[in-house]
Amino acid sequence: MSNRKVAIVGMGGAFPDCADINVFRDKLFSGKSLIREWPQAVAYNKQIRSTVSGFIEEEEMGLEPIYASPVNGFPETYVDKLDRIPAINLATSDLGCIWAMLGAQESIKQAGWTKAETESEQTGVVVGSGGGGNVIARNAWHAFFELGKKSRIAGSHTVDRAMAYREAANISCLIKNKGVCESIISACATGLGNIGYAYRLIRFGLQDRAIAGGVEGTSIETFIGFDAMQVLSKGFAPAESSRPFDIRRNGFVSSFGAGIVALEEYEMAKARGAKIYAVIDEYFNNSDGDGNMFYPSYDGQLRLWKGLSANAHIKPDVVKVHGTATPVGDILELISVVDTLGEDGYHVSAPKSQFGHMLGGAGSVELITAIMMLENQQVLPCLNSDTLNPELENFQKAEGWKGSTKPATAYRHLIPQQTLSKEINQIVCLNYGFGGTNSAMAISRDI
> Which positions are catalytic?
188, 322, 357
For residue 108, give the nearest of 99, 117, 121 by alpha carbon.
Answer: 117
Helix (H) or strand (E) run with residue 89 in it = helix 87-90
How far apart are the C-alpha atoms of 219 and 215, rounded to whole Å?
12
How far apart are the C-alpha atoms of 311 and 290, rounded to whole Å?
26
- Where does residue 191 fall: left (phi above 0), alpha (psi -120 to 50 degrees), or beta otherwise? alpha
For residue 284, give the nearest of 189, 168, 403, 164 by alpha carbon.
Answer: 189
How far apart are the C-alpha atoms of 119 and 139, rounded to whole Å?
35
> Is 347 strand, coil or helix?
strand
Looking at this protein, which amino acid is placed at residue 102? L
Which phi and psi angles does 90 have, rounded to 5°? Answer: -65, -35
> Which residues make Cβ contacts (< 8 Å) with residue 131, sequence separation at least 6?
96, 216, 217, 219, 221, 222, 359, 360
